[in-house]
Amino acid sequence: MNKIGIAIHGGAGTILKSTMTHEKELIYKNALDAALMEGWNLLKGNASSLDAVELAVRLLENNSLFNAGKGSVFTNESKHEMDASIMDGATLNAGCVSSVRNIKNPVVLSRKIMDNSEFVFLSGEGAEEFGRIMNIEFENDEYFFDELRYNQYLNALEEDSVQLDHSPGNKKFGTVGAVALDNAGNLAAATSTGGMTNKKYGRIGDSPIIGSGTYANNKTCAVSSTGHGEYYIRAVAAYDVSALMEYKNLSLEEACEEVVNKKLVSIKGEGGMIAIDKNCNISMPFNSEGMYRACISSERNLEIKIYRE
């Protein structure tokens, strides 16, 4: 068998061991482990990297711990608007969706857009209409309700502020994502998010934008980002990792370091990313206090981490 591998993230930000109970830490790690191993088992069964990242992200979307799918935060209108994207490194095909409501798994809709339309990016009601045609699963508003998210929303309303997914005093970028390399040597990446608490004006972050939140190219690597989206968009962060590898011959680790801990830091962009290259090297850098992350490959034992080492 050729080299295979997968990495996932569940967001980055101010995640401190001092404020995390052992029980809560275990819940997060178990959730990461479950999503990672489902994707890994697909890869071991000779499934495609696209199928593996879609499944891993779908499972994270189904877990209210994370700001994506079921756990999405509230907008200013007390709604849930979700964004997602997926990209195939073999063909550079991609599917992206933004500002959709009541879609159970935005990453599944992104895959349908990529596989069953001539388009890359659909948004809002049009994307939802396409989802109905594709028999995508919808859920009512109650499915997405979470008391912690709602309290965050009420706090943001009171302060008249737009907040990243966080409790008062902390910042957490709750995007989820996955990257993978399959037995055929193909790379893929997927990312999904519920956006910002109390967001207005149809704000869209980096997660559904190819090159900013998500990128995959068999020549180089697959990347999924998590952080303050405005900065990742300005930095074209995910594509920049690939470009540094392709045009400057940097290693995956060097390219990720350049983007996350130099370029983004220089413009005050906080967060991290996960990446895997065509040789199955995995990098999971972040410039915040912590990042929910996990990986496993034919070259690397299982790792599930939250804090800085």
Residues with catalytic function = 175
CA distance 34 to 85: 21
Q: What does the alpha-carbon distance between residue 77 and residue 3 come to, in Å, rounded to a whole number?
A: 47
Q: How far apart are CA 99 and CA 194, in angstroms?
A: 9
- β pairing state of 221-227 and 300-307: unpaired
Note whether 306 and 31 are within 8 A (CB). Answer: no
